[in-house]
Structure formats: structure tokens, C-alpha cells
Structure 1
Amino acid sequence: MFRNKQFVGELIAEFIAVFIIILVGDSVAAMYSLYDPSPYRNAYWGVCIVWGLGVTIAIYVTGAVSGTHANPAVTLALALFRGFSWRKVLPYVGVQVLGGMAGAAIVYVLYAPVIDHFNLAHHLDRLHDGGAAGVFFTHPGDFVTPLHALVDEIILTALLLFGIFAVTCEYNTQAPQANSGALIIGLLVAAIGGCAGYLEAWAINPARDFGPRLFCYFAGWGPSALPAPGHYWWVPIAGPLVGGVIGAGAYEGLVRPYMPRLRDRAASSEVGPLAEAPTTETGFSGQA
């Protein structure tokens, strides 16, 4: 019974984590997109920092309960490489998407009159023009095709998971302690946005994109959200899932085996340097 109750708590935590990220992140996207002059137009780094802080806050709130995956790409990578239970993968992903929908719904409540004014002023409508859709979900930037965006998302999510696995590695003596790891992961998200966010708004998280996109489908954006122009909807899902596996696998194969404590442990037991030691790492925030 306790196990079932704990699992429910983990699912609630994952829902809350993505809810926080989308509430904070989509709100700053609204500030960036809907106002003229925008307070962020000439200070784009501020948008990236706020998204990163949303991730940091989510980790501090929920990390002790679920580890704050807050991203299906993270959940998949942890199942593949760090022993996260496969039976939990689909429930985690499901509540992450629901958290994204709920976060987008609250952002809509906050900004609905501003969205309507923006669309009216620019002669846009939700259904045909996707007016103000960029507040909620991602799309290719200038000169970027959906296929190129797929490649971008694979690369950027690989970088994200490579960094997360480094920060949460129990053998990494240079990693921050658990209480500061959340801030470093938030800064990693901000750095990815700062260096590549204009390509396709750096989804790097299927729940971050699909949850708000699904909400918008029912909130009047219809085909502008799903399937989206050029049938783009699947790109921010497939790209991060593939990239996450690549990035996590690269860390596990190229860096982790040579960490000092793991190497010393392998040497003391007279086994090869690639021997794996048991790990309790289960989450986005590295809370063991």
C-alpha cells in the first residue's frame, strides 16, 4: 500500500514540475511575444534565464519526491541507463504531458485578453494564422525547415542530457552537491536557449511542447496546433527522445567509466575500468 501511495506521489510531483516549468516559461514567452515594445526584445537572455529558473524551481519543489524528470526524454534515458523502472515510464510521461496542458491553461487564463488584443491588432486569428501560438508551443524559426529542426532538437537535447547525467553522476567529484545541482541544470537549460533558442524555440522536452500544443488544439487553435503547419507537431517529440538517448549514452560510455571513484573501485576489485557500480541515481535533479 505504501508503495502505491509513494508512486502516486511521484506522479503528482511530475505533474507539478512540468506545470511550474510551463507556467513560468510560457508566461515569459507571452511577455516576449505579445507586448510592443517587449521588455525582452533587446534582452533575450532574460527569457532564457526565466525558463531556466522555472526548471530550477520545479526541481527544488519536487526533486525529493520524484527526482524531477519533468521531461519524457529524461525519463527514457534514466530507464535505459540508470535503472529507472520501465513500468513507471508511461505513467511518468502521461502526467508530464498533463502538467504541460495544465500550465498552458493557466497561462491562457492570465493572458487571454492580451492574446485577443494582439491577434486583433495584427489581423490574425488562431485557427488559420496560429495567432500568438508561439506563446505556448514551438515552431521552426526563420530559414529552418522541419527536417533541420529535427536535427537541431536531437543535438540540443543530447547536450541537455549529457549535462544532466554529468551533474547527477554520483562519481563525478566536480559535480555540484544535490542542493545546488538544480541551479546548474536550470542554467544549462538557459544556456541552450541562449545559444540556439531562435532556431525552433528549443523545445528539448516533448511534454513542454506537446502538452501546451494539445491544450491549444482544444482552445481554438485547432490545426494550427495539431498537426501544425508542415505537420511539425512530431518533431519536438521525436527529436528530444532520440537526442536524449544519444546524449545520455555518450556520457555513460565516454565519461562516466573514467570517473575517479568508479575507476578506483574497479581497480580495487581487480575488474576492468568499464565495470559498473550500483547506483541510486533516479532523477532529473540528482536527488538520490
Structure 2
Amino acid sequence: MNRQTIGELISEAVAVFIIIAFGDSVACMYVLYDPSPYVNAYWGVCIAWGLAVTIAIYVTGSVSGTHANPAVTLALALFRGFPWKKVIPYSVAQVIGGFIGAAVVYLLFAPVIDHYNQTHQLTRAMGGAAGVFFTHPGLAITPMHALLDQIVLTAFLLFGIFAITEQYNEMAPGANSGALIIGFLVATIGASMGYLEAWAINPARDFGPRLFAYFAGWGSSALPAPDNYWWIPIVGPLIGGAVGGAAYQWLIYPFLPARQRALLSQGVNPGERAAIDPSH
């Protein structure tokens, strides 16, 4: 493994670390305090998560491209030429970043977590305050419905990311503002659909903190979790990312005017190229 690859893996771990350090902290602010500073301002929670993603991109984007999400890494390998040999190392680095981010949140909020559980007569083994680290089904949501939700939500995420980062999309934001728009995309998904099961849309975002919580005393309430829920925020986003990426590549990408002009300048008929391979 060369020095550049090591740097990319560190970058991916740092990106998810930043997202979890801020995101799980705002979850603590939302859940643990009474009254919650966000009790009538849930949009603030969503914005905090979104800006955490934006900050992560600005910090690490020049090194690794800031996938910060195994679903993004997989979709980029499927449709954007990202090397398959890097998919698993990137994903492992992202989970490690999530684990360390959760550890920092625990360092900050452990006394508040314990106070919350004591006040509500809960224990970590019972799942008390577990929601500040990882996701779980919301009101009336079964695990199988949550799987479908995660597929749909992550499809929206990747569809948007592909549009925002597409070089031939003349309506995409400039390079310096793309990170902000991706952050707003994450926030919008949370604001509109987040209560379903806390909008994981990222296997590393859920599994890294879940793994930390398992070792920090939450035990079986974290892994395997009630109804063996732990795998839903992993499999759902991976499928959804592929679906969202495919939707953009098939429904939008072939018809981008800038792409068609580029093909014509190369002497290639856009219609023939799309018929052969709609992803290029």
C-alpha cells in the first residue's frame, strides 16, 4: 500500500469522524436535555448533520474525494470508475472513523448520558440513550419497512450527489459550493424523512458508533439490537446507493447537453454511445 493510498484512507476516516463528532453530539443535545434546545426546532438538528458533512468535505475532499459513506464508495465504483480494489479499504476506514467519532462524543457527554438514564430509570443494557449513537425504527416502522426506507432515502442521496458532482451538469454548483449543497441535501433528507428511522443513509455512520456503543456498555441493545436490526442500516443504504446512482446514470446523464456536445466534438454520435453504454 503506497503513501497516497494510506493518506486517502486516513482522509476517509477523518471525514466520518467529523460527521459523527458533530452529528452524534447534536443528537445528544436533542435527546438528553429537558427541555431539548431543539424541541421546536428539529430543522436545527438536520442542519447540524448537513453542515458536518459539508465541513468533512472541505477538510478531506482534496485527498480522497470525501466519500465518507460505503454506499457512496460502492456507487462510485459501479458508475464512476472508482477502483474496486479500494472499496473495502475505504469502507473499513469509514467505519473506523465513525467508531472514533462516537468515542469522542461519549467522552464529552458520558455524564449527561448517565444522568438521563438515571432520571428515566433506564440502563445502557436496556438501550437507554442509545439513540444518540445509532439509528432505530421510528413510530410504527418495522425492520423490513425500515429496509425499504433506507433504500429509498439513500437513492435520493446518491441521485443528488451524482447530479451535484457531474462535470457535464451545467446547473451543478461550482467546486467550492458543491460541499455546501451536499450538506443541504443531507439536511433536507433528514428534515423530510428523518423520523422514519433517523436517516442513517450511511453504513459507516450507523455501524461505527453502534460498534463503539456495544463495547461501551450497550451490549445487545446495540448489537444485534432488537429484532436484529443492526444489518438494516448497512444493507439498505448499499442497495439504495446503487439504485440512486443507476437512476441518475440512466435517466439524466445520457441527456446532458454538455455531454452530448463533448461526444459530438469527438466525432461520436450521442445516441449511439448511450445505446452502447448509458453510464459514459
Which TM-score bucket, shorter chain as reference? over 0.9
User: What's 1:275 paired with?
Assistant: 273
Among 182, 186, 191, the alignment partner of 2:183 is 186
Q: CA deviation at 1:52?
A: 0.1
1:160-239 superposed matches below 5 A: 160-239=157-236
User: What's 1:93 paired with?
Assistant: 91
Is 1:17 the counterpart of 2:48 in the alignment? no
Q: CA deviation at 1:274?
A: 5.9
CA separation in 2, counterparts of 1:172 and 1:4?
Answer: 33
Which residue identity is paired with 2:232? Answer: V
CA separation in 1, counterparts of 2:59 and 2:25?
Answer: 19
User: What's 2:50 paired with?
Assistant: 52
Which residue identity is paired with 1:253? Answer: W
What SS is found at the alignment partner of 2:273? coil
1:172-220 CA deviation, whole Å, 9 max, x = no partner? 0000011100000000000000000100000000000000000000000
User: What's 2:278 paired with?
Assistant: none
Q: CA deviation at 1:139?
A: 0.1
1:89-128 superposed matches below 5 A: 89-127=87-125
User: What's 2:147 paired with?
Assistant: 150
Does the 8 A contact of 1:130 with 1:224 survive in 2? Answer: yes
Which residue identity is paired with 1:169? Answer: E
Q: CA deviation at 1:261?
A: 1.4
Does the 8 A contact of 1:97 with 1:208 survive in 2? Answer: yes
Which residue identity is paired with 2:244? Answer: G
1:245-268 CA deviation, whole Å, 9 max, x = no partner? 000010011101111111112334
- In the alignment, structure 2 segments of 5+ residues that lack a partner are 275-280
TM-score, normalised with respect to structure 2 = 0.96
Compared with structure 1, are the counterparts of its residues 7 and 43 closer, same or farther at alpha carbon in structure 2 (3 Å cutoff)? Answer: same
CA separation in 2, counterparts of 1:249 and 1:211?
Answer: 27
Q: CA deviation at 1:132?
A: 0.3
User: What's 1:62 paired with?
Assistant: 60
CA separation in 1, counterparts of 2:215 and 2:168?
Answer: 46
1:121-140 superposed matches below 5 A: 121-127=119-125, 129-140=126-137
What SS is found at the alignment partner of 2:172? coil
CA separation in 2, counterparts of 1:232 and 1:4?
Answer: 37
Does the 8 A contact of 1:257 with 1:274 survive in 2? Answer: no
TM-score, normalised with respect to structure 1 = 0.94
Q: CA RMSD in A?
A: 1.6
- In the alignment, structure 1 segments of 5+ residues that lack a partner are 277-288
What SS is found at the alignment partner of 1:126? coil
Does the 8 A contact of 1:258 with 1:273 survive in 2? Answer: no
Does the 8 A contact of 1:29 with 1:47 survive in 2? Answer: yes
Which residue identity is paired with 1:50? Answer: A
1:84-111 CA deviation, whole Å, 9 max, x = no partner? 0011110000000000000000000000
Q: CA deviation at 1:272?
A: 3.4
How many residue pairs match? The answer is 276
Q: CA deviation at 1:271?
A: 2.1
What SS is found at the alignment partner of 2:118? helix
CA separation in 1, counterparts of 2:183 and 2:273?
Answer: 31
CA separation in 2, counterparts of 1:273 and 1:163?
Answer: 24
User: What's 1:266 paired with?
Assistant: 263
CA separation in 1, counterparts of 2:163 and 2:128?
Answer: 40
